[in-house]
Structure 1
Amino acid sequence: MRMFRKTRRLLALSTLPGLGALPGLGALPAWAETPANATELPDLVVSASRVPVATDKVGSAVTVITRQELETRQVREVADALRDVPGVTVTRSGGRGNQTEVYIRGAKSNQTLVLIDGIEVNNPVGGSSFDFADLMTTEIERIEILRGPQSALWGSDAVGGVINIITRKGKGAASAHGLVEGGSLGSAHVEAGVNRSGAGGRTHYALGASYSRTDGISSANSRRGNTEEDGYQNTSVIFRGDVSPSENVTLDVAGRLVSAVLDYDTFSADPALGLQRATDADITEYRLQAFGRVGAELRAFDDHWRNRLDFSVTDYNSRGEEDDLWDYTQNGTKVKYAYQSTYEADTTLGVAAHHTLTGLVEHEKESVFYKSNWSKVAPDVESTGLVAEYRVDLFKRLSVSGSVRHDLNEMFDNATTYRVTTAYTVPGSETKLRGSVGTGVKNPTLFQLYGYTSTFRGNPDLRPETSFGWDVGVEQPLLSHRLTVGATFFHNEIDKLIQGSGVSADNVSGVSHINGVELTASAEPIDNLRVAASYTFQKAEDAEGKNLVRRPQHAGSVNVSYRFLEERANVFSSVHYNGERQDSTYDLSYASGRTTLDGYTVVDVGGSYEVVKDKVELFGRVENAFDEKYEELFSYGTPGIGGFAGIRFKL
């Protein structure tokens, strides 16, 4: 039975049915008031349009997490930062390094597009989803989470939304930074980086690296009799740079290299339980990820006309083995070419207006290579996308955008999607109103089509999923901006949803519906005391009225941060709640079923003190302070209480 273990893990995790921030606080909507010192970047959102847009002009629901927040809360993994975001659910199959999936507003993990410095990093060999397991926060400047259908801007993978990650850009004189941390489970984390700008601001570079390791916990839940530790190591190198040889030309490059080693457990039969479940195994996986992009921008007519060329490559390689009994090798590659042209103009006829018109053409090729003891396949697919977007800003308070995209697909029918947004700030009250509506298309993945593992057969007759969604939101500052509250209502429909049946995948007839509300509040009742809270209610059902798995109906978070001793000391607390939700099970013949997982609350606390102001900081935290026992996925373990401490420096 060991020969099926890799397949069962992939099946259990990837093809199951339903397949403005304030410093030191949980992430808040980007259209909330944000202190000027919260980030070094301009108050712009990159992913909400094909061009950067001011936060008060964004019509879609978007949340921004800044580097200052990541440092204040001592967040080491991007997935942990996302747990505070309204409408976002994070699941991990065990301890650090195990498969980590993100669901936005009930959409499947492979319906969320992830960008890192403009590189699309969804993994072709991993079902076109992005596994957050190996993504550290090293060198990250900000994270944008754009919710709702975005296919008209970003293509097939953006049905649920977009997560856009931007790394540090060189600024000012040469500087260095780093940290050293140790803690529970034999954990250690080290990172360092340098950055600089020169030549009168015409060159910038930033280089960073990190090493992280842990002895880990048993990926299979130890409370079910599994005691073997599953360790993890991660080495990451990040680079970003640009040079402007002339006033109107900029050349830029970005890259990320990740090497990781993970011990993980299998998903195998338990005759006593009558189900497949996670159990101890001696399986090791070696991963190598390389993401790169080179680009050039030409500006003309006083920067009113901007033309950009980009070439990017995403390459995943992994190899797994169990005690020399079996092994597999897999590679997934995405190559992309893009040309974008944007023209901006102001008009004063009748009413002052600012216009932005953008056109884009892009071509991509995805390819997969998979070889194991049982199979060898190498499918690929190509597509071309054509995008047009128009934005207009009126009265300095009203912004409207419309976009349309036409995809030329090699395997499927060509598809057209659209998106319309609006944002308005009410004079006097500063009430911010916004709304968006759009459609999306998600093509079947190469794994779903070809089924290149031993127990999962592909279905070449699968059809693309289509979606329609809208949201409306309001945000109101009160008490001289000491308090800000917000609410967003959303509705998504997904037609021809692709669900795994245990050994294959099929389109489900009918329309799945996801409805919900996101509530946020942030307050600074006294100077340096900041409180943020969010709550999400979502009802996610398939066409038969059954709950989509792994989508809790209730979720929320509360974050508190207080700075004192002339702002050299900081303490914080984070509370995360996920309510009861269903997960998939498989019996001994792989027939699918359901189980209900209990809700849980996890509390983290920590603090820091600057021994040398703005230079040297001591910090520490306790994760899962009350040692909550819970499962994010059926039969997989989660870490108990853990302590961590370290030192951070800036030169």
Structure 2
Amino acid sequence: MKFRTTLFAGAAASALFFGHASAQAAAVAGADESDRQSIVVLGQKLEETTPEELEQYGSRLEIVEGKAIDQAGFDDTGQALQMLVPGLYVSPKNGAFDYVNVSLLGSRTSEVLFTVDGVRMGNRLYTGTTPLDTLPSSMIERIEVLKGGQGLYYGTQAVGGIVNVITKGFTRDFDGSVEAGYDTNDGYHANGYLRGGGGDHYFVAFASYDEAEGFQPFHTSDYQPSATDRKRGYRVATGGLKYAYEPADAFRLSASYQHTDAKVEFAKAEDVAAAFNTRNEEVASLKIDWTPSDRFGFYVKAYWHDWDSTYSEFENVLGADGLPTGSLITIDDHDPWVFEDRGINLLGEYKLADGVTVIGGYDYQKYDGMDAVFLIGSQSEEVHAPFAQVKLDLGGLKLAAGVRHNMPSDGQSKTVWNVSGRYAMDGGVYLRGMVGTSFRLPDAYELYVIDPCCEQGNPNLVAEESFNTEFGVGLERGMFSGEVLGFYRKTDNLIDIDYSLPAYPDGFIVNTQDSVTAWGGEAIINARLDDWFGLTFDYTHTEVEASGTNEQIQDIPRDLAKLILTAEEPGGRFGGTVSMNWVGKIYDSVGGGIGRVQHGDYAVVDLAGWFFVDSAHNHRLGVRLENLFDTDYATRITRVRRDADGSSYPADNRGTPFTVHVTYRLAI
């Protein structure tokens, strides 16, 4: 608590010192999603413009606007990413507000960094646990996905890329809405937001509530009699506040706070009468942006992320007939798994001369965590990381080079570097690319887990190290843009689970002896067909294999394709979205002597439509037909033990079946 108080007090004191800063033009225009009036959004500052700058200097950036997510009818962020982001594989375990598998340019889930408003949401207990199981979509202004190694700016875990969720932004005019919805998995949804400003002060408030009984997450034939909880539900309540003080265009003090209270059930096909996680999560930040001159600008941000979760599991007692007696065994009763993450980010930019810019920054992170379920004792870590970059703007050619040095308190110090560039040619053709290094430290689970049910941790693990390159050739002309890109990554010391050791039949976590290579390509097309229709198509092929084998690493699809069609009446009165997600072959390695299991090779189609009842665009009705053709597909393969003899067999975790969502929205 002392550290947290000092952190935010220091940032506030800096705000008072710099509060007399001179003006700089910053406001940009944005359009309200109902098109009722023009809403002026406050100008983006240095941190917010970083992804676009990285794109201009060679990175590939995908942006999905909150308007598109809202009109497509999504309730949670995971499913929005699954259906709407080109090249990003997201597989929710059992529908909305659940764990997900993620892959970006051949990465594993642990190699993609998630941030919300630039605050790291990564879980150092489990880097494979994303924040998507409790992240609603109603609060989103836009989503930015940077592809390829982004360790220079974002540090460890940003190997395959980063996903940054931007919450509702500040506006000068008042704007807001309330919405209520229902879905046929006995789901109830409500959300709303209000934002505006007066004088030098601006605010945003948003809240949402999502609850569902859910659907059956396994086929009936895969259940053991001991499993009586046969629907997987959730309850997620989220609220947030944001404030900005901007006495001049050159200076802004902003603060944000977000709280989530949730209960998300954990699906099992054996033993369980009830299994669930509860969540009490808080994220706060305080930031100063100051641009004292046309040549120099900087920001300093303090953040705090407190993640308190408990796990409960109650199993059925079986009688002589093999059926539940009604008595329960308590396996876990609100056993905690928690972490606290706090830190400071500092970044400054100085233009040495026309076309020459120097960037320097420093990240500090202090992290504490423990888990009573997987028997991970209290762990603590501090990381200091200075970084610097030089950018050259030579007109049609833009080049950048940088280096970052990471110094963790417990583990190996690592230095990563990155060189990137983009060359614009006549006719809208461009070439771009980047090359560099990345690393990922082992998380607490990989090091220390000792639960007898599962794979065992290995305290002798070392950090993964990788060399990566990513490049593309594209065209931007009028209402059309497209790109073909390729990527290559070689990883040494890959952390994986070895099921071949007789002493560890449920797996032992090791650094693999062989290097692992990931390579592939992606083709992306975006087209505005006319005043009514838009189209996005994406196809990705990935090969991720250990040296000496031709077996794809688990949970990474070889092929992925997405097709997104949007339609909107030019006056904004009605419209719709069709999104298709096709996933090729995927492999899971399953414990208990089962081994490697193939699944995947499925297509899921969503259809959504919306209509404003009145000409003033105040009352909107919406419908979404999720999994329109009721495709029965496996999101992953899990191990189930038979009640009778304890022997194991594989079972499919099912994706969401055909579900109807309906909504009513009132604009404020």
TM-score range, shorter chain: 0.7 to 0.9
| Matches of 1:188 and 1:618, distance apart in 2 | 16
| Matches of 1:632 and 1:58, distance apart in 2 | 36
Match of 2:71? 72
Change (3 A) 1:607 1:570: same
Query: The residue matched to 2:79 in structure 1 has which SS?
Result: helix
| Matches of 1:88 and 1:45, distance apart in 2 | 27
Stretch moving more, 69-78 or 190-199 = 69-78
Q: How does 1:590-609 map to 2 (within 5 A)?
A: 591=593, 593-609=595-611
Query: Is 2:337 the partner of 1:330?
Result: yes
- 2:214 counterpart (213, 216, 222): 216
Match of 1:27? none
Change (3 A) 1:53 1:644: closer
Return the offset for 1:78: 1.5
Match of 1:492? 489
- 1:231 counterpart (227, 230, 233): 233
Match of 2:143? 143
- 2:349 counterpart (331, 338, 342): 342
Contact 1:491 1:513 in 2 (8 A): yes
Contact 1:307 1:340 in 2 (8 A): yes
Q: How does 1:8-407 map to 2 (within 5 A)?
A: 51=50, 53-54=52-53, 57-83=56-82, 84-127=84-127, 129-199=129-199, 202-222=200-220, 224-225=222-223, 228-245=230-247, 248-266=250-268, 281-300=273-292, 302-323=293-314, 325-327=330-332, 328-347=335-354, 353=355, 355-372=356-373, 375=375, 377-395=377-395, 397-407=396-406
Query: Is 2:558 the partner of 1:563?
Result: no
Higher-RCO chain (CA-CA 8 Å, sequence separation at least 6)? 1
User: Residue 210 of structure 1 aligns to which amino acid in structure 2?
Assistant: S
Return the offset for 1:38: 9.7
Query: The residue matched to 1:627 in structure 2 has which SS?
Result: coil
Stretch moving more, 80-89 or 569-578 = 80-89
Query: Is 2:591 the partner of 1:586?
Result: yes
Contact 1:331 1:369 in 2 (8 A): yes
Query: The residue matched to 1:162 in structure 2 has which SS?
Result: strand
| Matches of 1:380 and 1:149, distance apart in 2 | 26
Stretch moving more, 374-383 or 414-423 = 374-383
Query: Is 2:648 the partner of 1:631?
Result: no
Q: Deviations over 1:233-262 (max 9, x none)?
A: 100112222113566542211222111112
| Matches of 1:475 and 1:48, distance apart in 2 | 25
| Matches of 2:479 and 2:117, distance apart in 1 | 34
Contact 1:217 1:637 in 2 (8 A): no
Match of 1:640? 657
| Matches of 2:594 and 2:509, distance apart in 1 | 12
| Matches of 2:423 and 2:384, distance apart in 1 | 34
Query: The residue matched to 1:209 in structure 2 has which SS?
Result: strand
Contact 1:222 1:637 in 2 (8 A): no
User: Residue 493 of structure 1 aligns to which amino acid in structure 2?
Assistant: K
Change (3 A) 1:304 1:483: closer
Normalised TM-score (structure 2): 0.83
Stretch moving more, 82-91 or 417-426 = 82-91
Q: Deviations over 1:516-538 (max 9, x none)?
A: 11111122333211122111111
Stretch moving more, 220-229 or 463-472 = 220-229
Residue ranges of structure 2 left out of the alignment (5+ in a row)? 1-28, 34-39, 315-328, 499-505, 638-651
User: Residue 359 of structure 1 aligns to which amino acid in structure 2?
Assistant: G
- 2:433 counterpart (435, 443, 457): 435
RMSD: 2.5
User: Residue 518 of structure 2 aligns to which amino acid in structure 1?
Assistant: I
| Matches of 1:435 and 1:48, distance apart in 2 | 22
| Matches of 2:435 and 2:340, distance apart in 1 | 32
| Matches of 1:43 and 1:298, distance apart in 2 | 13
Return the offset for 1:48: 9.8
User: Residue 625 of structure 1 aligns to which amino acid in structure 2?
Assistant: L
Match of 2:26? none
Aligned residue pairs total: 589
Match of 1:610? 612
Stretch moving more, 607-616 or 140-149 = 607-616
Contact 1:114 1:122 in 2 (8 A): yes
Query: The residue matched to 1:447 in structure 2 has which SS?
Result: helix
Return the offset for 1:412: 2.2
Normalised TM-score (structure 1): 0.85
Contact 1:377 1:452 in 2 (8 A): no
Query: The residue matched to 1:416 in structure 2 has which SS?
Result: strand
| Matches of 2:73 and 2:214, distance apart in 1 | 19
Q: Deviations over 1:193-219 (max 9, x none)?
A: 1101221xx322111000001110233
